[in-house]
């Protein structure tokens, strides 16, 4: 695959001569907030890369000050107007994105240059390795606006464990890169000046490893816990449950009230003014 860069795209894909693919979220003016267009672009890139045997590894990165602020406001406005069927289809595409990244059979690295909220934490959780800048802040903020981190929840819980997953998804607490490292979401914390260097060190380490061996160990690890929500035998039911849950809550009275309050910058009914 040849290197491809288009700065007009919301997701920029590049592949260097070593076979290292970098998928960069490219909406710095919006803090790389993602919407259905960005999700579709990431899905397309992941499907293309997965079929290319020359790819040795994948890096997910962001431009500007943030890794990703989560859901785009315009997308959230459209979601509030969708009926349940449209919301379900929308959620299923997000679920496909998370599954493709989680299942990617080459090493994956989230190179986190700044804040990651909501679904962006899901992207991090789906990567094998995460390197974050020391001033990055993270949050699973969905419950603040009457929604739930449904689609990403099994991937986040798989990475954080039940204890931290429950705490962070129910509290919407903001946590630091250091705390992210302590709870297993982040594997290395560096200064902003050292982020690119740390990413390159990961690449060099990765290039010393057998692609076939990496693919096999990733497959084997997914088989260990047959009762896990992400286990092969449970995945279809997991996706059905999570996508239906987010579709239901988006069209619910509480979900609609929370979204409208957030979009109009007012207090939601359950919040103190």
Model pLDDT for residues 220-252, shown as the tens digit of each residue: 888 887 778 888 888 889 999 999 999 999 899
- All residues at 6 or more sequence positions from 167 whose CB lies less than 8 Å from its CB, including other chains: 173
| Per-residue confidence band for 3, with pLDDT thresholds at 50, 70 and 90 | very low
Domain 11-263's class?
Answer: alpha beta
Q: Taking each helix axis as running N to C, give the angle between helix 84-103 and helix 232-251, from 0 to 180 degrees, rounded to the nearest 10.
A: 140
Per-domain residue ranges of the chain:
11-263
The end-to-end CA distance of the chain, in Å, is 54
For the CA atoms of 217, 218, 223, 226, what is the dihedral angle to 10 degrees? 140
Tens-place pLDDT, residues 182-223 = 999 999 999 999 999 999 999 999 999 999 999 999 988 888
| Per-residue confidence band for 155, with pLDDT thresholds at 50, 70 and 90 | very high
Is the model's pTM score more than 0.85?
Answer: yes
């Amino acid at each position: 695959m040849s290197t491809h860069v288009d700065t007009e795209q919301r997701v920029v894909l590049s592949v260097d001569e070593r076979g290292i693919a970098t998928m960069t979220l490219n909406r710095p003016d919006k803090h790389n907030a993602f919407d259905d267009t960005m999700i579709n672009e990431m899905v397309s890139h992941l499907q293309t890369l997965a079929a290319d045997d020359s790819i040795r590894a994948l890096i997910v990165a962001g431009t500007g000050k943030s890794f990703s602020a989560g859901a785009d406001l315009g997308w959230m406005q459209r979601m509030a107007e969708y009926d349940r069927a449209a919301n379900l289809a929308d959620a299923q595409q997000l679920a496909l994105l998370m599954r493709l990244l989680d299942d990617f059979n080459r090493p994956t690295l989230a190179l986190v240059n700044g804040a990651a909220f909501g679904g962006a934490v899901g992207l991090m959780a789906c990567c094998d390795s995460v390197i974050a800048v020391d001033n990055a802040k993270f949050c699973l903020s969905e419950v603040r606006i009457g929604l739930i981190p449904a689609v990403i929840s099994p991937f986040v819980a798989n990475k954080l464990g039940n204890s931290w997953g429950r705490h962070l998804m129910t509290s919407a607490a903001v946590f630091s890169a250091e705390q992210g490292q302590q709870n297993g979401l982040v594997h290395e914390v560096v200064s902003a000046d050292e982020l690119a260097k740390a990413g390159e060190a990961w690449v060099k380490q990765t290039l010393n490893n057998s692609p076939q061996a990496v693919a096999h160990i990733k497959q084997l690890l997914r088989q260990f816990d047959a009762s896990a929500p992400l286990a092969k035998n449970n995945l279809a039911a997991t996706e059905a449950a999570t996508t239906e849950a987010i579709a239901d809550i988006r069209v619910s009275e509480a979900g609609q009230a929370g979204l409208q309050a957030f979009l109009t910058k007012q207090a939601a009914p359950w919040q103190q003014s």
